[in-house]
């Protein structure tokens, strides 16, 4: 793999277990040595440098706090190891506690803290010595959903305040979309696609990325023609147009994808959008999920699709067995 990480950006390595993301992070940190190639920080190779010489902060999945040391002693440990004078240590410690919103917690021990507070202490310890790069190995994985979502926003705030480069490893797609400037989607030791969260969500380059970032509907189709940057294909007996940068051959079997929330029920003609894709379907499952209703649909030839609709008392709920037409925008249909 080859990867350039921009100075000051928040980059996430996202992928399933075994895709190589943690190994990549460990090689940057210096805990693993690559069999070939080079790793350079600020243009200088760090392959021969041990971890403690790389000026890199690291937050581990299990936080790795010393249980017998107080919060202040844990955070101050890297400063003490670097020979920072006591007065300077106290100043930097106070700054770090303020930054992670834990002022006054210096005298507590890790066992006296919640999981979220322990995570903040681990971050404070990793940034207290002003590293040029902060590596985060699934730091929110052990937290409950609500706390995890709150801390995602906190990490974005920290990144903005510190202005240093963050590299995060996670398998949580929502976490990656929320926190990152760019995401590198990894699969089998390679980068499948890299780009902004919007790029990866709206324009996945292949089926793996489309299925791993969010939820997608995949429609088998046969190419009938190409119009500029659109491909025209027959799908479930109807013509569907999709965005593509490729030039597939007429008659080629392809796969089209669109997101569940981009589909909508079309009870009448969609006069305002004549270019919309349309398809008749049958509702086979209807689930109320709070802010959204989730419908499982089946097309005439048997292809299953999911439609997600915002929940509202003003919106009519669809019944299982109902025969209806769906519509979605051409620009939300991608050939993968």
Q: Domains of the chain (ranges plus CATH)?
A: 10-206 (3.40.50.300), 215-335 (2.40.50.140)
Looking at residue 215, the DSSP 8-state letter turns out to be: -
Q: What is the pLDDT of residues 20-49, one digit of tens each?
A: 999 999 999 999 999 999 999 999 999 989
CA distances from 10 to 94, 195, 196, 246, 330 (A): 25, 12, 10, 31, 32
Q: Is residue 165 scored above 60 in pLDDT?
A: yes
Using the predicted structure, report yes or no on whether residue 8 has a pLDDT greater than 90.
yes
Query: Residue 296 forms beta bridges with which residues?
Result: 285, 306
From 28, 108, 35, 104, select the one nearest 65 (Cα to Cα). 108
Secondary element (H or E) of residue 290 = none
The Cα–Cα gap between 258 and 335 comes to 9
Query: Tokens 């006054």 identify what position?
Result: 104
20 contacts: CB under 8 Å, gap ≥ 6: 1, 186, 188, 189, 190
The pLDDT of residue 134 is 95
CA torsion through residues 262, 266, 272, 277, sign: positive
Per-residue pLDDT averaged across 214-234, rounded?
91
Nearest alpha carbon to residue 21 among 150, 175, 158: 175
CB 79 within 8 A of CB 128: yes
The residue whose two tokens read 């920080």 is 41
pTM for the full predicted model: 0.88
pLDDT value of position 146: 78
Indicate the DSSP class of residue 193: E
User: Could you tell me whether strands 304-310 and 323-328 are parallel, antiparallel, or unpaired per DSSP bridges?
Assistant: unpaired
The answer to whether 234 and 224 are in contact (CB under 8 A) is yes
- 44-45/40-41 β-pairing: antiparallel
Give the single-character DSSP code of 100. T
H or E element that contains 275: none
| Beta-ladder partners of 328 | 277
Dihedral, CA of residue 31, residue 165, residue 192 and residue 61, to nearest 10:
50
Q: Of 118-122, 201-205, 218-222, 269-273, which gets the smallest average pLDDT? A: 269-273
* Whether the predicted pLDDT of 141 surpasses 80: no
Per-residue pLDDT tens for 259-303? 999 999 987 555 555 568 999 999 999 999 888 999 999 998 889
pLDDT at 274: 56
* Separation of alpha carbons 308 and 316, rounded Å: 13
């Amino acid at each position: 793999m080859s990867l350039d990480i921009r100075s000051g950006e928040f980059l996430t390595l996202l992928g399933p277990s075994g895709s190589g993301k943690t190994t990549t992070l460990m090689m940057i940190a210096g805990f693993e040595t690559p069999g070939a190639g080079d790793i350079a920080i600020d243009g200088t190779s760090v392959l021969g440098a041990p971890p403690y010489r790389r000026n890199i902060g690291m937050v581990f999945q299990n936080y790795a706090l010393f249980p017998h040391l107080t919060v202040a002693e844990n955070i101050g440990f890297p400063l003490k190891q670097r020979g920072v004078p006591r007065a300077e240590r106290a100043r930097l410690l106070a700054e770090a506690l303020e930054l992670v919103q834990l002022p006054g917690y210096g005298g507590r021990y890790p066992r006296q803290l919640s999981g979220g507070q322990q995570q903040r202490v681990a971050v404070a310890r990793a940034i207290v010595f002003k590293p040029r790069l902060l590596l985060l190995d699934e730091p929110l994985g052990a937290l409950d959903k609500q706390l995890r979502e709150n801390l995602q926003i906190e990490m974005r705030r920290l990144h903005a305040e510190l202005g240093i480069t963050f590299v995060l490893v996670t398998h949580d797609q929502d976490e990656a979309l929320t926190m990152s400037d760019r995401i590198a989607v990894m699969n089998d030791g390679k980068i499948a696609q890299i780009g902004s969260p919007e790029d990866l969500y709206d324009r996945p380059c292949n089926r793996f990325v489309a299925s791993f970032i969010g939820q997608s509907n995949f429609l088998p189709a046969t190419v009938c023609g190409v119009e500029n940057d659109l491909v025209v294909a027959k799908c479930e007996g109807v013509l569907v147009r999709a965005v593509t940068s490729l030039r597939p051959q007429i008659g080629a079997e392809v796969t089209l994808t669109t997101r569940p929330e981009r589909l909508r029920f079309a009870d009448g003609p969609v006069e305002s959008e004549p270019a919309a894709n349309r398809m008749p379907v049958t509702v086979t499952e209807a689930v109320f999920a709070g802010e959204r209703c989730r419908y499982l649909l089946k097309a005439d030839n048997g292809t299953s699709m999911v439609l997600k609709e915002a929940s509202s008392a003003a919106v009519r709920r669809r019944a299982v067995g109902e025969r209806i037409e769906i519509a979605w925008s051409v620009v939300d249909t991608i050939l993968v």
